[in-house]
Amino acid sequence: MTRLSVALVGCGGVARRYRRIYARLPQVSVAVVVDTDLEEARAAAAELGAARASAEFADALAEPVQAVVISTPNYLHRQQAAAALQIPLNRLAEPEEVAELIAFLVSERAAYITGQVFTIDGGASAVGCYSYETYKRQGVPG
């Protein structure tokens, strides 16, 4: 089973409940936890088996993760989400990733899906790079 690698930003408050859930999900691997309270981040890292704990939001974006889970106070969400969207996966898709989408689309479970375009580019087009070659040549815009 391929595990989804995530960065968990915000470890206190309601995120304590989420931590218990993440710890029970075999398909999720928490790579890094970030909280302004470094002791809270360290406790979460120990609980979740994360390799890294930090008090700096930028550290969540420095790790090669597939998702950034933002569980901070609401007023921080927009700024943190905008920063996270600027970091595409920076790799080519694995054949299995594309094959699983295709297998789903030809299955009965996808019978209601029609006329869709699925962009499989690791997030590069979301930041203005419309091919992997362009991304590698010019890097992340902004």
Q: Residue 96: exposed, middle, or buried by beta-carbon count in 10 A (0-12, 13-18, 19+)?
A: exposed
Q: Would you state the pLDDT for residue 142?
A: 44
Does any domain span residue 90? no
Is residue 64's pLDDT more than 70?
Answer: yes
Confidence of residue 124 (pLDDT cuts 50, 70, 90): low
State the residue range of the domain holding 30: 4-85
Query: Do 76 and 10 belong to one domain?
Result: yes
pTM over 0.85: no
Confidence of residue 98 (pLDDT cuts 50, 70, 90): confident
Question: Could you give the number of structural domains in the chain?
Answer: 2
Instruction: Indicate which CATH number applies to the domain containing 18.
Output: 3.40.50.720
The position carrying tokens 């106070």 is 73
Query: Do 11 and 47 belong to one domain?
Result: yes
pLDDT one-digit tens code per residue, 3-23: 888 889 999 998 898 888 888
Does any domain span residue 38? yes
